[in-house]
Amino acid sequence: MRGPGAVPGLYATESAMNELAHQLKIDPVKLRIMNEPKIDEGSGLPFSSRHAVESFELGVEKFGWSRRTPDVGSMKRDGLTLGWGMAGCAWLAGRFAAAASVQMRDDGTTRVACATQDIGTGTYTNLAQLAAYRTGVPLEKIEVALGDTTLPAGPISGGSLATASVIPAVFAAADSAISSLITVAATTPGSPFENRNPEDLAFEDGKVFVKADGAGKGMSFAELLQRANLRLVTGSGDAPATFGDPNGKFSTHSYGCHFAEVTWQPEIARLRVSRVVSVIDAGRILNPLAGRNQIQGAVVMGIGMALFEHTSYDPQNGAPINSSMADYIVAVNADAPPIEVHFLDFPDKVINELGARGVGEIGLAGIAAAITDAVHHATGVRVRELPVKIEDLLA
């Protein structure tokens, strides 16, 4: 249910790449690097930023891929047969239309607001980070308001585009609020900047100052508002969508790869994913902790896709038979292996000023193909229809 299009599509294409590599007796990483495109061959457009090869190289290093022996069933550990597999991943990038507002208050706090929502992906933290970055107000003094239709219109939580979409809107709103604050500084009687040309003033780290004097002689925005007897200044900002633009000049995507290890115990037909290393090229990562959590969660979903999740339908009426969580099997804690996540740091300034792209759905894209490649390496069985079933491996 996450990553529509790319997730099942990449299972097919990445599995085909792995089968081709096996038939040609070429390392699957090497095959992908040999076929690295110069442009997006589907659209004919240049990439805004693409570092897939760097992700492959880092994945090889972190996973220890050079120790892989290509023969089926040739790797053992603690009496178990090991299987090592890999796959590339990609996900679209861009922006939905978004708007935001920023208030700077006389108590030294700042409020940033947008009608988008936080569904557990860290939007509250991201907006606070953005407001703090632009205004210089400490993070603990930032209030974030989300999820209300009375607020400036925000993006939907879809396509891993929310964060990339709100960045230019929040920055524009903060700049608008700062511009209003500078006007207040230049026009308030008794202000140290009274009658100054606003163009001579600047704002940094929560202070207004004369450019020629430097920030050391500035005054905090809270004190300026108090002198002006103003409760707050407000700024609004918006940014247009780039997603789906038929006149776009670049192909905008995130990239990466997954390396998976499985263990196979044929005596009792036990197959488990024992280790995963993911490397993601998603531009600048605003919150590495939350971003890593997104990829780890998506990998666990991919383990469910590869090994457990399947809907059975009643042939009489088409209704799903296993339609409850009591019958529909998903991955649980015991199925989740150590998952190592690494992010590259190549900001994509075509997307937004900070160069950030989304990191949600790309973690699910490609992982099932890496797991089934590892299954083949361990068992010699090439599974093309998910999930992998024990009867597939015992046939």
Peptide bond into 46 cis (omega under 30): no
Q: What's the first-to-final CA gap in the chain, in angstroms?
A: 30
Q: Would you say residue 216 has pLDDT above 80?
A: no
Q: Would you say residue 229 has pLDDT above 80?
A: yes
- Per-residue pLDDT, averaged over 279-293, amounts to 96
Q: Would you say residue 179 has pLDDT above 90?
A: yes
The reported pTM is 0.93
Q: In angstroms, what is the C-alpha Rg of the chain?
A: 26
CA-CA-CA-CA torsion sign (368, 370, 375, 381): positive
Mean pLDDT (the chain, rounded): 95
What count of other Cβ atoms lies within 10 Å of the Cβ of residue 220?
A: 15
Rounded to whole angstroms, what are the CA distances from 356 to 104, 130, 253, 309, 345? 25, 12, 11, 32, 10
- Per-residue pLDDT, averaged over 59-65, amounts to 98
Region label for 161, one of left (φ > 0), alpha (ψ between -120 and 50) or beta (otherwise): alpha
Q: Would you say residue 1 has pLDDT above 80?
A: no
Is 361 a residue of the active site?
A: yes
Report pLDDT for 302: 97
Report pLDDT for 126: 95
Q: How large a percentage of the chain has pLDDT more than 70?
A: 100
Question: What is the rounded distance in angstroms from the CA atom of residue 121 to the CA atom of residue 143?
Answer: 18
Closest CA relative to residue 7, chosen from 348, 320, 365, 300:
365
Q: Would you say residue 215 has pLDDT above 90?
A: no
Report pLDDT for 195: 85
pLDDT band at 239 (very low <50, low <70, confident <90, very high): very high
Which 3 state secondary structure label does DSSP give 270? Answer: strand
- Per-residue pLDDT, averaged over 259-285, amounts to 97
- Per-residue pLDDT, averaged over 299-305, amounts to 97
Report pLDDT for 360: 87
pLDDT band at 173 (very low <50, low <70, confident <90, very high): very high
- Per-residue pLDDT, averaged over 336-354, amounts to 97
Alpha-carbon torsion, ordered 57, 59, 62, 68, to 10 deg: -90
pLDDT band at 233 (very low <50, low <70, confident <90, very high): very high
Report pLDDT for 190: 86
Check 340, 361, 385, 391 and give the catalytic one.
Answer: 361
The pLDDT tens digits for 39-58 are 999 999 999 999 999 999 99
Closest CA relative to residue 112, chosen from 83, 93, 133:
133
- Per-residue pLDDT, averaged over 120-147, amounts to 96
Q: How large a percentage of the chain has pLDDT more than 90?
A: 93
Report pLDDT for 2: 84
Q: Would you say residue 395 has pLDDT above 80?
A: no
List domains and CATH numbers for the chain.
6-94+246-394 (3.30.365.10), 98-239 (3.30.365.10)
Q: What is the 3-state secondary structure (H, E, C) of 299-362?
A: HHHHHHHHHCCCCCECCCCCCECCCCCCCCCCCCHHHCCCEEEEECCCCCCCCCCCCECCCCHH
Strands (E), 63-194: 75-77, 80-92, 98-105, 110-113, 142-145
- Per-residue pLDDT, averaged over 269-283, amounts to 97
- Per-residue pLDDT, averaged over 228-256, amounts to 95
Report pLDDT for 214: 81
pLDDT band at 101 (very low <50, low <70, confident <90, very high): very high
- Per-residue pLDDT, averaged over 236-249, amounts to 94
Q: Would you say residue 217 has pLDDT above 90?
A: no
